[in-house]
Structure formats: C-alpha cells, structure tokens
Structure 1
Amino acid sequence: MQLDATDRHILRLLQEDASRPNAALADAVGVSPGACWRRIERLEGAGVIKGREVRIDPRALGFEVQVFLRVTLDKTAPNAFDAFIAEARRIPYVQSIETLLGRVDIRMDVIARDLTHYQQIYQERILALPHIADIEALMLVSELKNTGALAI
C-alpha cells in the first residue's frame, strides 16, 4: 500500500495517542474530518492499522517482577513447538511468546507480583511445559525504552 505524507502524519499522531478524536486528528493533519476518517478506514482495511488498544501498567496492579525466558526445545520430539506453545499460552502470567531462529527457540515474557510469586509460577507452570531442553531467565531491572511506534 502506498502511503502519502498525510497518511504517515495520521499514523504518527495515532501512535502518540490512539484515543485522539477524529476532529482533532483531522485538524492536526490539515484535512476535513470526513477525509481523515476515510483515510483511517482505508489504513485499517489494508491492515496497516491493526487496532487500537489500552495499555495497562502491570506495576500499577501489583506485578513488580518481569522476567524474560529464553527457551531451547528438544526438537527431536515430534511437534515440540506446537505442544510447548499450546501449553505456554494457557499460563495467564505469560505476556508474550515469540519463536526465534538461532540457538534459542522461544522467548517469553512472564510477570509476577514478587519473587516468591515468580518462583511459584516458574516451578509449577513453566518447568511443567513440555519439551524444554534448556531455559534461561533474565530479570528486568529497568526499562529504558519500550515503544511499538514505527519511525514513519
């Protein structure tokens, strides 16, 4: 899909604040509200805009610990990836699961209320996942940048 300067401007502003009213967005990019709405609908229809979401700070709800797990699977087992991912998706404290190429097969983000809670999740839920050959845990100390925004 070809994007012009106005489309890119709309996308930049929506990345900053997806709740911005259409009239304010239209005014900021210099088009009518109707034209702005049609552009947004076109961008959504083309799959450029996948949705708008509410981002909740886990720490505000008492989740003080975030751990990144790097998992290597036993790939000699048939359907190791599928079985692992199906079970990992069932753990509510697993925030994301990504498959990778390289030495590590899976990266997962896990949140917990505190270290004791993390240890419980790790021992009871993570280590029970099928086909784990190796696992490495990296605890988040500080987050210096976290953006899903694209340089448009």
Structure 2
Amino acid sequence: MQIDDADRRLLRHLMADPALPTAELAERAGLTVATCWRRLERLKERGILRGEEARIDWRALGWEVEVSLRFTLDKTNPRAFDEFISAAREVPEVIEIQTFLGQTDLRLNMIARDMQHYQEIYRERILALPHIADLDALMLVATIKESAELPL
C-alpha cells in the first residue's frame, strides 16, 4: 500500500510517542488537526494502523525469566499444528506463538517469575503440549535492541 510523505511523518511521530494528542501530532507533522484526523482514519481503514494498545513491562511486575522455546512437531497427525497451537494458547505464561517454515515449526516465548516457576511451567504445561517431536529452549540473557519502529 502506498503512503505519502505526510503519512510517513504521522507514523514516525506516532511510533516515537503513541500517546500524542491529535492536535500535537498534527502540529509536529505539519498538518491541520482535521487533515491529521482524516489521515489517521484512512490509515486505520487501510489496516496500516491497527489501533492503540497499552504496553506493559512484565519485568516491572516481577516476571524475571524469559525463554524462547523452539518446537519441531510430529507431523504424522494432520491436526498436529492446530492441536498444538490450541493447547499452547491455554498456557497463560506464553506471551507469543509464531510458526515457521524450516526445521523449527513453532516458537513460543514464555515468561516466569523465577527459575523455579519456569521449571514448574515447563514440566507441567509445556512438556504436556501435544505432538512434540523435538524441543529446544533458549534462555534470554539480555535484550540488546527491541523496537517496533519501522524505517519510514
């Protein structure tokens, strides 16, 4: 989808500060408030802006462990992916589920309060997920870069 320079300015300012009021966003992007509002609505209608969300820092709430789990599924069952994903969605500590092409079929990102909590979740909930042929766990040590900003 094509966007113009004014749309790019709006998106850059929104990425930098999503809580900007429309009037301030319009001023920073060099637009009138009415034009800014219309452009935002058009970006939403086109599916470029998908809405607003609160970003909560789970670490600040005491969740100290993040693990990326990579799964290869036993694909002899044609419903393996659907059944695995359905069961994984039921684990509240799983914060992200992704599917891949290649040797790894799925990746789950999960959080835990501490290592003991992680071990409990891993043994009781993760290992109970259906159709696991292989599993690899990567413990997060440090996040070097985390950004949802696009090069607009």
Q: For this structure pair, what is the TM-score category when the shorter chain's length is used for normalisation?
A: over 0.9
CA distance in 1 between partners of 2:134 and 2:20 (Å):
45
Q: Which amino acid aligns with 1:79?
A: R
Instruction: Provide the residue aligned with 1:37 in structure 2.
Output: 37
Compute the TM-score of the two structures, normalised by the length of structure 1: 0.98
Instruction: Please report how far the alpha carbon of residue 121 of structure 1 lies from its aligned counterpart in structure 2 after TM superposition.
Output: 0.4
Instruction: Please report how far the alpha carbon of residue 127 of structure 1 lies from its aligned counterpart in structure 2 after TM superposition.
Output: 0.3
CA distance in 2 between partners of 1:82 and 1:149 (Å):
31
Q: Which amino acid aligns with 2:26?
A: A
Percent identical: 55
- SS of the equivalent of 1:31 reads coil
Q: Which amino acid aligns with 1:129?
A: L
Instruction: Please report how far the alpha carbon of residue 148 of structure 1 lies from its aligned counterpart in structure 2 after TM superposition.
Output: 1.5
1:1-152 alignment to 2 at 5 Å? Answer: 1-152=1-152
- SS of the equivalent of 2:118 reads helix
Q: Which amino acid aligns with 2:94?
A: V
CA distance in 2 between partners of 1:22 and 1:108 (Å):
36
- SS of the equivalent of 2:59 reads helix
- SS of the equivalent of 1:144 reads coil
Alignment gaps of 5+ in structure 1: none
CA distance in 1 between partners of 2:58 and 2:2 (Å):
37
* CA offsets 1:92-115 (integer angstroms, 9 cap, x no match): 000000000000000110000000
Structure 1 runs of 4+ with >3 Å offset: none
Alignment gaps of 5+ in structure 2: none
CA distance in 1 between partners of 2:144 and 2:116 (Å):
25
Instruction: Please report how far the alpha carbon of residue 2 of structure 1 lies from its aligned counterpart in structure 2 after TM superposition.
Output: 2.1
Q: Which amino acid aligns with 1:35?
A: T
Number of aligned residue pairs: give it. Answer: 152
CA distance in 1 between partners of 2:25 and 2:78 (Å):
51
Structure 1 window deviating more from structure 2 (126-135 vs 50-59): it is: 50-59
Q: Which amino acid aligns with 1:46?
A: R
- SS of the equivalent of 1:92 reads coil
Aligned CA-pair RMSD: 0.7
Q: Which amino acid aligns with 2:74?
A: D
CA distance in 1 between partners of 2:124 and 2:88 (Å):
12
